[in-house]
Amino acid sequence: MNLAFKLNTGYSIPLVGFGTYQIRGSELIYETLDYALNAGYRHIDTAVVYGNEHHIGNALKKLLPKYNLKREDIFITSKLISQVNKGERFVEELVLKSLSNLQTEYIDLYLIHWPGVSGLQVSHPDNIKYRKCTWNVLTKLHREGKCRSIGVSNYTVKHIRELLADCNGVRPAVNQVEWHPRCFQLELLELCRSEGIFLQAYSSLGTSNYTELRQDPVVTDIAARLNRSPAQVLLRWGLQRNVGVLPKGSSKGHIDENIALDFVIPPEDMKSLDHLKETSGAKFAWNPDTVV
């Protein structure tokens, strides 16, 4: 299963993507992307801070011909984080370096990774200035065709509204945020939908080192009754809310499992999963709520 959603830029993004966070090294990247392409993934998600763009570029150069694929058959996302005292030239150089590392003339989607500056400085007085600076550069590169779609990540309702009020003529296509039954914001989802912004989830399964979400009794009970894995239930929950998902995996078994989502969670079970936020809410990744 790899259905797609049409972005406000006219390009289609696969609903199920392959996340590469913490997957590093040329051999491991090649092996996991080989598994992913074979399984049917056509969206690869990376970021400057992941430190693997160049390995992905090298791997795709070999793997696309292997699977009789062209560059246009693959959707690539990358992201950058603004840094203190670094202006538009720095941002543009980062994007151009991503293009070089990935060995491509364009990136399908480029995101502002974090609404604050590097070091997760939530109260930095110039966060607004750096957000604006970075967005201005991305809009320029979008108009030049180097970034076919641009968007944001970890943006809250406040940050989205600020951007929409002054977006340099290009509205964000995507907002990528932590999203799972223990952590979701309906106000953010409704705002994004009303403004034509596609919401995409990361940490749908918790984190690599935190298995409590996958072991939640509600999740495991539903998984057992549907004859599916807890991971599949958590990913399918997102899809049934029309949210994109980006599972990652390093084993062929997990990579194959995470894209096999052609089933339906019954309405009552969806309600039970929704209720987890009230009974056992938890956030596993960085929290942008307090970013100025």
What is the pLDDT confidence band of residue 1, given thresholds at 50, 70 and 90? low
Question: 41 an active-site residue?
Answer: no
Q: How far apart are CA 60 and CA 55, in angstroms?
A: 9
The predicted model gives 218-222 an average pLDDT of 98
**Chain-centre distance of CA 137, in angstroms?**
20
For residue 35, the model assigns a pLDDT of 98
For residue 201, give the 3-state DSSP assignment. strand
What is the pLDDT confidence band of residue 203, given thresholds at 50, 70 and 90? very high
Torsion, Cα 274 5 195 96, to 10 degrees, reads: 110
For residue 119, the model assigns a pLDDT of 67
Query: What residue spans define the domains of the chain?
Result: 4-213+234-262
State the catalytic residue, choosing from 41, 50, 110, 155: 50
In DSSP terms, which residues pair with 45 in a beta bridge?
Answer: 19, 77
The answer, yes or no, to whether residue 267 has pLDDT greater than 70, is yes
Close Cβ partners of 194 (under 8 Å, ≥ 6 residues apart): none
The predicted model gives 42-48 an average pLDDT of 98
**Chain-centre distance of CA 17, in angstroms?**
8
Contact present, 79 and 47 (Cβ < 8 Å): yes
pTM: predicted TM-score of the whole model, two decimal places: 0.96
The predicted model gives 261-268 an average pLDDT of 98
For residue 125, the model assigns a pLDDT of 86
More confident residue, 200 or 278: 200
For residue 95, the model assigns a pLDDT of 98
Where do the DSSP E strands lie in 16-74? 18-19, 43-45
The answer, yes or no, to whether residue 208 has pLDDT greater than 80, is no
C-alpha closest to that of 11 among 43, 58, 54: 43
Close Cβ partners of 154 (under 8 Å, ≥ 6 residues apart): 113, 114, 115, 176, 177, 178, 286, 288
Topology adopted by domain 4-213+234-262 = TIM Barrel (3.20.20)
How is 132-198 classified by DSSP, letter by letter? HHHHHHHHHHHHTTSEEEEEEES--HHHHHHHHHT-TT---SEEEEE-BTTB--HHHHHHHHHTT-E
Residue with tokens 């034509």, as numbered in its chain = 196
- Per-residue model confidence as pLDDT tens digits over 119-130: 666 788 899 999
The answer, yes or no, to whether residue 211 has pLDDT greater than 90, is no
Least confident of 47-51, 137-141, 150-154, 283-287: 283-287
- Per-residue model confidence as pLDDT tens digits over 58-113: 999 999 999 999 999 999 999 999 988 889 999 999 999 999 999 999 999 999 99
